[in-house]
Amino acid sequence: MKKVGQFLFTFIPLVTAVLLQILVGCYCAGFAFLTGSIYSLGFESSFQQFISFFQKLSTDTLFGATLMMNYSLFAVALFGIWYYCSYGGVYRIRPASAFHPVSLLGILMLVPGAQFVTSYIVTLVSLIFPSWLETYEKLLENSGVAGSLSVPMALYGALFGPIAEELIFRGVTLRQAQKTLPFWAANIMQALIFGVYHMNLLQGTYAFFVGLLLGYICKRGKIHSSILFHILFNAWALFLSGHLKFGSSPTDAMIIFLLTIALFIGGLVCFTAGTNRLSVEKD
């Protein structure tokens, strides 16, 4: 019975994260209303004007980015304390003791390799389920990622978001799942929960793949390595992917495919070798 309880507790971080999003959303919406609508609409404004205000707020990309950045800050604090107190999280580290040059090289190779793999996943899933792609594109447009990036969205997407998600899913969820499951099963479970967290079928599909990779990185190189990879992975998607242009000829496609395999497999090999050397040096 105790194991059943521990297994079910694996879902608590997801529920907590969703509730935290709702609470922060209510706080940000209320703050925007008090500082904006009362002065611009006046106390005698009609109920329909208030509804219209919140409808506009829900589609405002800057508000959405600010909301998510605030959420991620609260999440880092909450799940950071949770991870530290319940799962032995360590924050004060020396880079030389946490990262090996070979494992760092592996992470740098894995970032573009995983980006290319996810692009193949997105293309394949989009061909099978075109409606998923339409929903995903609308999500990107509403979030402000598809256009010019706002500062809050850049900070959330490339820094605070990755840290928060690593603490939630690899710091707390994966550790909790490993109390009742072997690592391979716990890793699949946290990756599935990570995919559900994104609440979008297309994004959730490739998030599952990325979650599996992040779980492996965290297992081998601790959470500092998965945070670093996640930050670089998101930064690549936000700042570089839109500027990379490749040819459409069969030869170009084959070169990109072979490069993807080389970067992804080579990155995994280097990362694993580097973490092995680091563990030997510590012993």
pLDDT digits (tens, 9 = 90+) for 139-194: 777 666 666 678 888 899 999 999 999 999 999 999 999 999 999 999 999 999 99
Tell whether the model's pLDDT for residue 34 goes beyond 80: no
Count CB atoms within 10 A of the CB of residue 23.
12
Compute the CA torsion angle 69, 50, 15, 80 (nearest 10 deg). 30
> Does residue 256 contact residue 116 with C-beta atoms inside 8 Å?
yes
251-271 pLDDT, tens digit each = 888 999 999 999 999 999 999
pLDDT of residue 93: 75
pTM surpassing 0.85?
Answer: yes
Handedness of CA 211, 7, 81, 153 (dihedral sign): positive
3-state secondary structure of 67: helix
User: Which residues, in sequence order, are CB contacts of 177 under 8 Å at separation 6+?
Assistant: 7, 10, 185, 186, 189, 190
Q: What is the mean pLDDT of the chain?
A: 87
206-247 pLDDT, tens digit each = 999 999 999 999 999 889 999 999 999 999 999 887 667 776
Query: Which residue is associated with the tokens 């707390």?
Result: 172
The residue count for the chain: 283
d(C-alpha 25, C-alpha 29), whole Å:
6
List, in sequence order, the alpha helices (H) in 93-249. 95-98, 101-128, 130-143, 151-155, 161-165, 174-177, 183-197, 201-235
Tell whether the model's pLDDT for residue 38 goes beyond 70: no
d(C-alpha 160, C-alpha 74), whole Å:
10
Mean pLDDT within 45-53:
63
DSSP state of 147: S
